Chain A
Amino acid sequence: MTNLTRRDTMVLGAASLAVATSLNTPALADAKTADESLAKLGLSGASASADLVLDMPEIAENGNTVPLTVSVKSKMTADDYVKRVVLVADGNPAPEVVTFNFTPASGEAYASTRMRLAKTQNVIAVAETSKGAKLMAKREVKVTIGGCGG
């Protein structure tokens, strides 16, 4: 790599500083892998479901700002609604991304945001319903690092 080494880009810093992650991260953190992270939240054993849609681009030309949208097919009534959707990434220095908490007043279990991806990896979404069902969806996102570009 010609000249990215001197830059403090997230992408480069990320890979080499895995150690520093756990220093002052509150609540969510401390899990080393995506699976551990899900286990800590009681979300192991989720089964892939087409009712949970994780929409992300196939290729992200920059890992700093990758858009994502999650939506879960659900009636969202008081006795049957999506409680939360947890997102983890398996190739980032820390796997946690975000947890969206919904209520019946949400109307739809839908949320959109933008995330950082240190490199090509899988982003995994797990949804938990008020009835205890666990749904999972996974997307592989390829992250390209430019060859030049100051």
Chain B
Amino acid sequence: MLKKLLIATALIASATSSTLADPPKGYVSVKPTSKDHPLKELVSGYWYRDPATRAIQDDEFQNPGMLLVEAGKELWSKVDGKAGKSCASCHGDPKKSMANVGTSFPKMMGQGDKRTLRNVESQINVCRTENMQAEPWKLESKDMLAMTVFTKHQSLGKPVNVKVDGEAAKWFEKGKAMYYTRTGQLDLSCSHCHEMMEGKYIRSDHLSQGQINGFPLYRLKDQAVLSVHKRFEGCIRDTRAEFPKAGSDDLLALELYVAWRGNGLPVETPAVRH
């Protein structure tokens, strides 16, 4: 039913440009940085949400994600692991050392045969296990979310700028293929909702471009902060498909590709969405 509806509307609205159905006051869009970008303009998920939701994101005091920024700040100086170090021991002032975390990850990290694409979460665990000799944090655990939010928040307002060339190219291509591949019982790909139909409504949900410039973010629906992979899980599950495991290479590739789709949008971590 859903598929027929989407195909029908796709045929009618085949040459859609990526604009909001009824843009709210003050709405800002960004031109994509690369020429072969599938969207004409980039709009943060922020603008698809109603004024009350946007107000909560903007109010640093009320934004529940900021509670995790504070928690992350505390963890930053906390000694953990056999090496007797804290993040601060090596990285000093997070405002300086983490300034580009939100704009550059996922990216190629590591030496020799350990070199691979890492997102913030996986890099945090590499740092913890290898440099701090501490236990890795579980994905979606409060500590992991807090540190991810805290470090990405240091790039607040800066434009996302992930690299997809050179070594990262094969990850980029993988992610792109995933983005456009139909999956699940509902036989949908990410592009159906977030490229073909973005700006339109699916029931009462306002379809956004599926950008991730605000992640990890607070979801009103879950009343909790979620990571990118957790969100991908939810989306893929909605097509009634089996989803790749959080932290897997597949999702890392997808994360890189989706981040690239938002290159130019400001980092909003921690954003608030519904």
Contact = CB atoms under 8 A, between A and B. Distances in A.
The short answer to whether A and B are in direct contact, CB under 8 Å, is: yes
Interface stretch (A25-33, A39-47, A55-63, A86-94): A55-63
B205 interface: yes
Interface stretch (A76-84, A127-135, A141-149): A141-149
Contacts of B2: 2
A65 B203 contact: no
B235 A150 contact: yes
A9 interface: yes
Interface residues of A, number: 20
A150 to B, nearest CB: 2
Interface string A32-76: 000000000000000000000000010111101111000000000
A118 B216 CA distance: 26
Contacts of B55: 67
Interface stretch (B45-53, B68-76, B153-161): B45-53
A150 B231 CA distance: 7
Nearest to A143: B204
A10 B222 CA distance: 9
A44 B56 CA distance: 34
Given A146-B221, A147-B204, A148-B205, A62 B53 contact: yes
Interface of A: 2-3, 9-10, 57, 59-62, 64-67, 144-150
Interface of B: 2, 49-53, 55-56, 193, 201-206, 220-221, 223, 231, 233-235, 237-238, 240, 274
